[in-house]
Structure 1
Amino acid sequence: MVQLDRPAPSAASIRRWRQYLADERAEASVYRDLASHRTGEEREILLALAEAEGRHEQHWLALLGENAGRSRRPDLQTRALGLLARRFGSVFVLALAQRAEARSPYESDRDATEAMAADERIHEEVVRGLAARGRARLSGTFRAAVFGANDGLVSNLSLVLGISASGVSNHVVLLTGLAGLLAGAMSMGAGEYVSVRSQRELLEAATPATDTHIVLPQLDLDANELALVYRARGMEVAEAEAHAAEVLGRPDPDLGDAPALAESDESDDGVDEHEAIGTGLGAAVSSFCFFGSGAVIPVLPYLVGLSGLTAVVVAAVLVGLSLLATGATVGLLSGASPLRRGLRQLVIGYAAAAVTYLLGLLLGTG
């Protein structure tokens, strides 16, 4: 509750409260926009988050009273988040919303209630849970795409710089870069296809049969071999025997324990493990295309006729910008700092390229 006998607020406090008010209104709008792209439970959760932000809005309105004045513009990050939510409503927006909730200043602001600070912490976890579903669905193909793009950028930059440093002609560097692009893209695509197909086959081999429950009525009640099924799945002997006896003691055991025998292959957040891995063809195509798109960037300066140190510098700059972009994208999806992830990608990529360039210099002068 807002205290009625509190002293007149300072101009700085009024400005801060107005900003909080604008941000709360914008965040509520973001959740409503996200809900418009969802159905069922996710839609209800997002609308409940919008309602909670509305309660926070009322707190600042009560504090401001007649000082509320005209509505201020929300901060830049919240405005950008709202624009993305209206246009896309994707997992990227949920990841950004998660970061926005984590930045809440209410824990250190004496004008915000403890309940409001607690709400923001809980909101972060709620949005994290919603974003986790989308991240899991993206993880298979997205993993192949990110790895493909980064491998193309780093490996072909290293190849081009190493060959260029050895002193060969511009034509040889260009051909080498294009050969590296094609060979790497084919290798990445084939490797991803085999990897994902193998992983899916292992999952399928470990998934319980869906029709085993139909033989339950014919089992020997005294032998009770159903207990072996539960023991094989990790139950203790006594627990497995008790559960098997309970199942076999039901009037219609062939119907009563179907879910227990044919366990779902979905994770706790409702995402199918096969879906999270992705398909072999999808991963292969994604990896091929993204490796190619990454590997062509170091070659671009040579394609347009640049040579020597100029081509090396331009290639390094273009690849650096691309590494920053891919790292920032991973950071956004993971809810981490985009800048930190981007810089990490940049340092790793440049380190690999620098080593290859130095080796090229050594070989060229040998």
Structure 2
Amino acid sequence: MTDAERKAAIEGLLADWRAEIQAAKTYRLLAERERDSKRKQVLYRMAAVEEQHAAKWERRLRELGAEPPPADTIRPRYASRFWQAMGTWAVLRRLEAAEEAHGGSYAEKAAKAPTEEERRELQRVHADERSHARAMNEMAPQGGPRTALDRILGHERWHARSGSWIGDAIYGMNDGLGAVFGLVAGVSGATGVTHSGTASDGHVVLIAGLAGMVASALSMGSGAYLAAKSEREVHEAEVAKEAAELDEHPEEELEELELFYQLKGFTPEEAHSVVERLSQSRELLLGTLVQEELGLHESSLPNPWQACLVATLSTGLGAFLPIIPFFWGANLTAVLAAAGISIAAHFAVGAAKTIVTARSWFHSGMEMTIVGVIEGVGAYAIGTLFNVH
């Protein structure tokens, strides 16, 4: 090892050592503040694991001829009065993000490790950091802004899990109705069909509406298919990753699962007994690990083709409604009829949303109606600015 490589290794180990000491002190600080005995015990255990990590890096530093600074010079994170006032939830979320980031750095180092022994050691530390991040998520009070699935998949509405295909159909109708109503209103304003439009202008509005309907339906259908397919691929990748961890570090995975059950209220003995029973079947154990740690379950995954069909048909139906009057002509009457149909449909879709949102059907319907009116008036006004006559 050259002097430059040795210096870089020492700097990296010192940074990891400080992070582990700081994390251990932070967990101990939280444990001292915690009133729940089970959570307190879990936090103390996590502090002990971080101290073990720090001891590893301390030994490595001494092997390289470096001496870490005294541990009492390292202060715990989030010890100020500000964070005490922010509450446990904010601290736990911060710690969760920090553990995920720190675990990611260990994963990168493991991939570049020069020896197999060092790679395995870094992978074990990485697994511990991931476990701590999941524990932070589990301990955070319920009702936080994101679930584990949200973090993996983002806020794509086709993953919103409305409880069934009904929610997807409602969102599809909403998108189709809004997009094509705005399109028809804008083209009507641009062609002047409300006062001096010709038959050819009416055909332009109708063709634009039909083209918008087809484009919206195909776009939403393909988007829903790809989103559902991606969700399944993410699930399969997470299962494969968890299976690899179970094969490489079975004891750590079992201990991690025991931790999750303790956080749910089981005693250590009960948690150990449950995990011991689960470990008799690898398939059952793997499924439980994926479900408990990541919140993923195969039965909750959407069918890509069903999602595609529902999105395409519902979007097409919603988009078709504003076009109907223009089959009988393009004049002021047709525009007003399209506006009336669209506004009524907006209210109906808004009211139907309460099937999955549990809000007041009237308020939800009125909200959608107001949005539809603003959309139509705005699109028509912009269209008149580009009046072709």
Q: TM-score, normalised by structure 2?
A: 0.47
Q: TM-score, normalised by structure 1?
A: 0.50
